[in-house]
C-alpha cells in the first residue's frame, strides 16, 4: 500500500469477518460474517480516495486479530481472506488475554466488535472501540455514527451522571470513549472532506439518544471543532432509537454502550 | 339549491360513540385503534425497554406510539425562501456554506409556526389535567437537510422558545422511512413529492403555505379545519362530480345517503384530535376546550351534506362546527374561523384561503390532482 503515514488502522476479529457459528463453517470456504459489508465499504472509500489523488496518504487499513486459533484455523483464515479478495494488511494470532495489548501496540485507531463487553474492556484500557453494527449491508456507503450524548456533554456534566444512576465504571467508559472519538472524528472528517456532499462513499451521522436538543447542538459544535461536519443528525430525546438505527444502518456505532442501557431518565444541560 | 352558506353547530348532543372513550391515563389500546390509517405499521419490538420519566419541571418526552406525533419540515416551520433560492440557483455546496455563514441568525416563523405554537398550548393544558399521561402532541422536526444546517435550526428553535426536542436531519435521504419510525400522525412539508409519498404510505400529510395577508390566530385554542371530500372522506363523490357533473353527483349522493363514505387521508388525524378533546370534556372543559375542529365543505346541508354527517357520526367522530357552503368560496368563512391549519385537496381552495389570510394546507390526494378545479365553475354541491 502507499505511504502509511496517515492510515486509519481498524482492527476486526476473525469471528466477525467470518460466520463461524454457521453450519457451513466446516467447509473450506468460510461463510461471510457481519463485517463483510464493512470491509467492502472501507475498500470503496480507499479506492475513491486514491482515484481523486493518486498520492493520497490518507486511507483505511484493516487488520485482523484472531485469538485461540489452531494452526489449521490460522491457515484457513488467511486462505479465506485471500479467497474473498479482502484487503487485510496484517494478521495477529494471539491468546485471548493478549488482544488488548495487541491493539495497543499497533496504534489501532479503532477496534470494532459486536461484543459490548469487549468494547467496554477496550475503552477502559483507553483503546478506541466501537460497535460493529449488525446490518445486512444494503449500502455501499461506509456509515459512521457518533454518540451525541457523550460528545455533547461537557466534562463536568459527565461526572454528574452519577446522580442519574450511572455507575463509576460506566462514566469512565464514556469519558474514555469521548477522548477516543476525538482523534477518530478528526481523521474521518479529513477523509470526508475529500468528497462532495453528494455521491460520497463515506457518510457520517450523529445520534443523540437521551440528551435534549441543546446537547445535540453542543455535540454538533464540538464535532465541528474536532474537524468533522456530520451529514445526518438525529435527536431522540428518549424515544427508542432501534427503529431509527435500523434505517440509518451504520457500520460503526460509537456510543460507549449507551444504546444498550435500560431505564435511564432524560437529562439536559 | 341554496347558495347561502348554512352553518350547522354540533352542540353537545349525545352521538352514538363507536370509539372507546379515552379518559384519564387510558389503556394504550385506544391509541392503537386510532392509528387504523397506518395499516402496515406495526409497533416495533425494540430491544431495550425505555420508559420516559419525569425530569425537573414536570416536562418529559412521550413515547412516539403513545403521543400524537406531528412531523414538520424546516421549510414549513420556518421561512427559508432566501436559502431555498441559494440552493436552487447555486447548488448544494453553496447552500450549505450560506447556512453555516448565517448560523447565528434565526429564521423567521413559517406557515406551520402558529400551528406548532398552538399544539404546545394544548400540551400545557393537557399536562395540567393529566400530568402522567403520554397522550400529548409530540413535534418532530423531519428535514432532509444536511446536519450542517442543524446548528442554525437548533439556534432558531431556541430563539423562538419552541418545545421541539426531537429531530431527524437525513442529509438528503428520503425522510419517509423515518416518518414511520416516529409513528407520525401528520406530516407537514413544503415538498409536494414527499407529501405524496407519505400519503401513499398511509400517513396524513399536506404541504403548507403562508397566507398572503397577515392574520392573528388564537393563542389559547387550536383550530383545525378540514375539507370533506378527498380529505376526511375518500374522493369517490369527487370522481362522480368530475366525470358526470353536478346532477349525477346529487343523484348519487341521494341514492347512497345511508352508505358510509370511505375514509380519506386525514380521517385518522381528526380522530386523534377527537380523543384529545374527550380528555378535556372528561374534566369538565367542554366549553373552553383548547381544541376546536371544523368541517368546511362545498357540500350543501340540505342534500349532499347529510351523507357526510351520517358518515362522521357512524365513525364516532365529533366535529365541532360543520360549514356547508353549497359551492360558495371558502375564503370568507375561513377568515372568520381563523384556523391554525385548513386542509383541502384542491389548490384552488388553498389559494383562495391564502388570499383571505388563512393558513392553508394542500392534501395532494385523489382525483382533483389530475383534474384541477377551473376558476370559472362555481357550482354548488
pLDDT value of residue B56? 36
Is the predicted pLDDT of residue B1 greater than 60, yes or no? Answer: no
- List the single best residue of B38, B49, B154, B184 to mutate versus A (max A Cβ within 10 A): B154
Average pLDDT across chain A, whole number: 86
Question: Residues in chain A, how many?
Answer: 269
Tens of pLDDT, residue by residue over A118-166, are 888 898 888 999 999 876 656 678 999 999 988 998 888 888 878 777 8
Contacts of B55 in chain A (CB under 8 A): 265-268
Give the global pTM.
0.85
Tens of pLDDT, residue by residue over A66-108, are 988 888 888 888 999 999 988 898 999 988 888 999 999 988 9
Shortest alpha-carbon distance between residue A64 and chain B (Å): 30
Is the predicted pLDDT of residue B309 greater than 50, yes or no? Answer: yes
pLDDT value of residue A161? 78
Tell me the sheet residues that pair with A112: A130
Is the predicted pLDDT of residue B191 greater than 60, yes or no? Answer: yes
Mean pLDDT of the B184-194 span: 96
Instruction: Give the sign of the dihedral formed by CA B267, CA B65, CA B130, CA B112.
Output: negative
Shortest CA distance to B206 belongs to which of B264, B137, B276? B264
End-to-end CA distance of chain B: 9
pLDDT value of residue B44? 35
Is the ipTM here above 0.85?
yes
Is the predicted pLDDT of residue A264 greater than 70, yes or no? Answer: no
Residue A127: C-alpha distances to residues A11, A124, B65, B79, B367 (Å): 11, 7, 39, 46, 61
Tens of pLDDT, residue by residue over B226-236, are 999 999 999 99
- Across the interface, of A217, A236, A267, the residue whose CB is closest to B154 is A217
Tens of pLDDT, residue by residue over A9-28, are 999 999 899 888 888 777 88
pLDDT value of residue B149? 92
Rounded distance, CA B143 to CA B169, Å?
5
pLDDT value of residue A171? 85
Average pLDDT across chain B, whole number: 83
Q: Which residue has the higher pLDDT, B284 or B50?
A: B284
Mean pLDDT of the B205-232 span: 94
Is the predicted pLDDT of residue B21 greater than 50, yes or no? Answer: no
- Across the interface, of B50, B165, B178, the residue whose CB is closest to A247 is B178
Question: Residues in chain B, how many?
Answer: 381
Contacts of A134 in chain B (CB under 8 A): none
- Three-state SS string over B164-232 comes to CCEEEECCCCCCHHHHHHCCEEEEEECCHHHHHHHHHCCCCEEEEECCCCCCCCCCCCEEEEECHHHHH
Rounded distance, CA A65 to CA B211, Å?
63
Residues of chain B above pLDDT 90, percent: 64
Q: Which residue has the higher pLDDT, B52 or A141?
A: A141
pLDDT value of residue B25? 35
pLDDT value of residue B126? 96
E-strand spans in chain A? 6-13, 58-67, 88-94, 110-113, 129-132, 142-147, 202-208, 232-235, 252-254
pLDDT value of residue A138? 60
- Three-state SS string over B358-370 comes to CCEEECCCCHHHC
Q: Do residue B147 and residue A213 have CB atoms under 8 angstroms apart?
A: no
Torsion of CA B107, B112, B115, B120, to 10 degrees: -50
pLDDT value of residue A174? 86
Cβ atoms of A30 and A19 within 8 Å: the answer is yes
pLDDT value of residue B338? 95
- List the single best residue of A202, A205, A240, A244 to mutate versus B (max B Cβ within 10 A): A240
Phi-psi region of A190 (alpha: psi -120 to 50; beta: other; left: phi over 0): alpha
Residues of chain B above pLDDT 70, percent: 82
CB of A23 within 8 Å of a chain B CB? The answer is no
CB of A244 within 8 Å of a chain B CB? The answer is yes
Contacts of A255 in chain B (CB under 8 A): none
Rounded distance, CA A204 to CA A224, Å?
12
Of A155-159, B141-145, B167-171, the least confident: A155-159
Is the predicted pLDDT of residue B285 greater than 60, yes or no? Answer: yes
Mean pLDDT of the B22-40 span: 34
Q: Known catalytic residues of B?
A: 227
Tens of pLDDT, residue by residue over B312-354, are 999 999 999 999 998 898 999 999 999 999 999 999 999 999 9
Any idea which residue has 384519564 for its cell? B24
pLDDT value of residue B45? 33
Tens of pLDDT, residue by residue over A186-241, are 999 999 999 988 889 999 999 998 888 999 999 999 999 999 999 999 999 988 88
Is the predicted pLDDT of residue A60 greater than 80, yes or no? Answer: yes
Instruction: Give the sign of the dihedral formed by CA B293, CA B298, CA B300, CA B303.
Output: negative
Any idea which residue has 343523484 for its cell? B251
pLDDT value of residue B33? 34
Q: For B43, which residue in chain A has the nearest alpha carbon?
A: A243
Contacts of B54 in chain A (CB under 8 A): 265
SS3 A203: strand
Measured CB to CB, residues of chain B less than 8 Å from chain A are 44, 46-55, 60-61, 63-64, 92-93, 96, 146-148, 150-151, 154-155, 157-158, 164-173, 177-178, 181-182
Amino acid at each position: 500500500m502507499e505511504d502509511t503515514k496517515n492510515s486509519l488502522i481498524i482492527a476486526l476479529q476473525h469471528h466477525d469477518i467470518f460466520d463461524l457459528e454457521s453450519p457451513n463453517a466446516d467447509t473450506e470456504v468460510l461463510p461471510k460474517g457481519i463485517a463483510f459489508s464493512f470491509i467492502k465499504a472501507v475498500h470503496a472509500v480507499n479506492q475513491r480516495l486514491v482515484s481523486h489523488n493518486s498520492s493520497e496518504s490518507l486511507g483505511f487499513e484493516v487488520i485482523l486479530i484472531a485469538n485461540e486459533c489452531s494452526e489449521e484455523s490460522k491457515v484457513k483464515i488467511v486462505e479465506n481472506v485471500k479467497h474473498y479478495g479482502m484487503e487485510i494488511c496484517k494478521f495477529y494470532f494471539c491468546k485471548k488475554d493478549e488482544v488488548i495489548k495487541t491493539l495497543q501496540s499497533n496504534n489501532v485507531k479503532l477496534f470494532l466488535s459486536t461484543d459490548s463487553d469487549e468494547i467496554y474492556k477496550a475503552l477502559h484500557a483507553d483503546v478506541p472501540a466501537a460497535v460493529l453494527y449488525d446490518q445486512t449491508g444494503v449500502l455501499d456507503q461506509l456509515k459512521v455514527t457518533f454518540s451525541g450524548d457523550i460528545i455533547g456533554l461537557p466534562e463536568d456534566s459527565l461526572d454528574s451522571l452519577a446522580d442519574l444512576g450511572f455507575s463509576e465504571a460506566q462514566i469512565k467508559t464514556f469519558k474514555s470513549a469521548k477522548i477516543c472519538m476525538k482523534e477518530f472524528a478528526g481523521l474521518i472528517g479529513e477523509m470526508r472532506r475529500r468528497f462532495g456532499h453528494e455521491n460520497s462513499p463515506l457518510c457520517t451521522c450523529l445520534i443523540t439518544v437521551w440528551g435534549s436538543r441543546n446537547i445535540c447542538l453542543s455535540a454538533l459544535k464540538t464535532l465541528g471543532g474536532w474537524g468533522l461536519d456530520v451529514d445526518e443528525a438525529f435527536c431522540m430525546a428518549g424515544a427508542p432509537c432501534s427503529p431509527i438505527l435500523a434505517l440509518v444502518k451504520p457500520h460503526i456505532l460509537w456510543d460507549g454502550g449507551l444504546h444498550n442501557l435500560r431505564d435511564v431518565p432524560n437529562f439536559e444541560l | 339549491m341554496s347558495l347561502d352558506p348554512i352553518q350547522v353547530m354540533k352542540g353537545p348532543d349525545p352521538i352514538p360513540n363507536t370509539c372507546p372513550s379515552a379518559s384519564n391515563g387510558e389503556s394504550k389500546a385506544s391509541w392503537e385503534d386510532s392509528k387504523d390509517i397506518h395499516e402496515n405499521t406495526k409497533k416495533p419490538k425494540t430491544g431495550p425497554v425505555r420508559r420516559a420519566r419525569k425530569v425537573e419541571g414536570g416536562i418529559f418526552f412521550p413515547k412516539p406510539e403513545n403521543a400524537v406525533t406531528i412531523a414538520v419540515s424546516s421549510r414549513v416551520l420556518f421561512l427559508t425562501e432566501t436559502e431555498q433560492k441559494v440552493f436552487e440557483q447555486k447548488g448544494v455546496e453553496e447552500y450549505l456554506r450560506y447556512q453555516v455563514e448565517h448560523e447565528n441568525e434565526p429564521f423567521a416563523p413559517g406557515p406551520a409556526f402558529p400551528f406548532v405554537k398552538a399544539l404546545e398550548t394544548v400540551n400545557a393544558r393537557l399536562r395540567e389535567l393529566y400530568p402522567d399521561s403520554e397522550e400529548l402532541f409530540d413535534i418532530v422536526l423531519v428535514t432532509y437537510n444536511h446536519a450542517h444546517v442543524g446548528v442554525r435550526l437548533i439556534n432558531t428553535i431556541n430563539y423562538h422558545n419552541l418545545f421541539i426536542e426531537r429531530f431527524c436531519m437525513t442529509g438528503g435521504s428520503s425522510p419517509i422511512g423515518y416518518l414511520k419510525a416516529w409513528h407520525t400522525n401528520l406530516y407537514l412539508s413544503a415538498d409536494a413529492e414527499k407529501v405524496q409519498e407519505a400519503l401513499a404510505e398511509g400517513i396524513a400529510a399536506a404541504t403548507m403555505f403562508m397566507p398572503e395577508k397577515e392574520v392573528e390566530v388564537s393563542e389559547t385554542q387550536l383550530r383545525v379545519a378540514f375539507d370533506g371530500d378527498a380529505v376526511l372522506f375518500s374522493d369517490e363523490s369527487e370522481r362522480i362530480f368530475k366525470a358526470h357533473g353536478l346532477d349525477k353527483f346529487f343523484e348519487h349522493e341521494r341514492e347512497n345517503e345511508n352508505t358510509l363514505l370511505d375514509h380519506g387521508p386525514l380521517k385518522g388525524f381528526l380522530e386523534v384530535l377527537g380523543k384529545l378533546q374527550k380528555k378535556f370534556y372528561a374534566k369538565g372543559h367542554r366549553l373552553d376546550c383548547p381544541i376546536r375542529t371544523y368541517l368546511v365543505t362545498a357540500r350543501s346541508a340540505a342534500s349532499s351534506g347529510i351523507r357526510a354527517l351520517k358518515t362522521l357520526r357512524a365513525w364516532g367522530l365529533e366535529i365541532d362546527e360543520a360549514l356547508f357552503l353549497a359551492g360558495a368560496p371558502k375564503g370568507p368563512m375561513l377568515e372568520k374561523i381563523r384556523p391554525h391549519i385548513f386542509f383541502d385537496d384542491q389548490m384552488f381552495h388553498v389559494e383562495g384561503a391564502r388570499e383571505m389570510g388563512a393558513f392553508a394546507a394542500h392534501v395532494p390526494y385523489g382525483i382533483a390532482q389530475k383534474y384541477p378545479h377551473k376558476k370559472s365553475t362555481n357550482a354548488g354541491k
